[in-house]
Amino acid sequence: MSQQPGTPPRLGHEELVAAQLETLATAHRSYGLAARVLFFGLDLVYGRERSLSKFKVLEIVARVPYQAWEQVAYIAVTHVYEHQTMARRIHDRVVEARAQQDNEQYHLLILGELIEREGIDEGRLRFYWLPQALAFAYFQLSWLLFVIRPSWSYRLNADFEDHAEHEYMTFVSEHPEWETTPFVSEVATDYGQFDALADMFRQIGHDERVHKQESLERLSEPRFR
């Protein structure tokens, strides 16, 4: 399916089920140190069990590398705007990073809606202030790695997205009742319509896979080629 750069394709039910099986049959990436520390810390604070609230925390952090890359790319355009071809290529990266952020933002909004609808009581410190602080620190790290060596930042993000992909697809297997739970959302018109909650979560899992692949494609490229 053709698509805008940074916007993962919308899949139908059969494709989503196939994607889930594929993810579950695929080993995790071999995570780097920063990613391992992050996942360990998240398990420690939010528990190893998958929950809507823990995914919301993941999504608060997930947008941040794309914001960092967008910011660096905008600064780069300021420096090279006289070289039209290069400036255009960097601008394409800005467009991609913006679409990736929007995609992560929909994930966050959907999780927020589900948590509110289910009346889940979240502690302010653990589920608001701590994720804000984590997102701030993760932004600095992604930004710094990107400025020093972009491949380091892309690798960290590929690890993060790989982890998210596996977690979402496993989450769906843990909730067979979602196969018949309708997906109702304020953002469905923008994000996508799905017959059941299970397919919506499979779609998010697949989005994370596409984000991972995009970062892996960038890994071997010189900066803003």
**Are the beta carbons of 173 and 24 closer than 8 angstroms?**
yes
Q: Dig out the tokens for 132 from the structure.
A: 């804000």
Residue ranges in contact with Fe ion by CB under 5 A: 62, 104, 107, 161, 208, 211
Q: How far is the CB of 48 from Fe ion (least distance, A)?
A: 19
Q: Which C-beta is closer to Fe ion: that of 76 or that of 163? A: 163
Residue 213, CB-side half-sphere exposure with 13 Å CA sphere: 11
Closest to 44 (Cα-Cα) out of 134, 121, 109, 124: 134
Q: Which C-beta is closer to Fe ion: that of 6 or that of 150? A: 6
Q: Which C-beta is closer to Fe ion: that of 56 or that of 211? A: 211
Q: How far apart are CA 149 and CA 155, in angstroms?
A: 10
**Are the beta carbons of 19 and 205 closer than 8 angstroms?**
yes
Q: Which C-beta is closer to Fe ion: that of 76 or that of 185? A: 185
User: For tokens 């800005």, what's the residue?
Assistant: 94
Q: How far apart are CA 127 and CA 222, in angstroms?
A: 38
Q: How far is the CB of 57 from Fe ion (least distance, A)?
A: 11
Q: Which C-beta is closer to Fe ion: that of 31 or that of 76? A: 31
Q: How far is the CB of 178 from Fe ion (least distance, A)?
A: 17
Q: Which C-beta is closer to Fe ion: that of 56 or that of 73? A: 56
Closest to 32 (Cα-Cα) out of 137, 148, 145, 113: 145
Closest to 52 (Cα-Cα) out of 157, 208, 204: 204
Q: How far is the CB of 114 from Fe ion (least distance, A)?
A: 14
Taking the CB of residue 107, how many other CB atoms lie within 10 A of it? 25
Taking every pair of Cα atoms in the chain, the longest distance, rounded to a whole number of angstroms, is 57
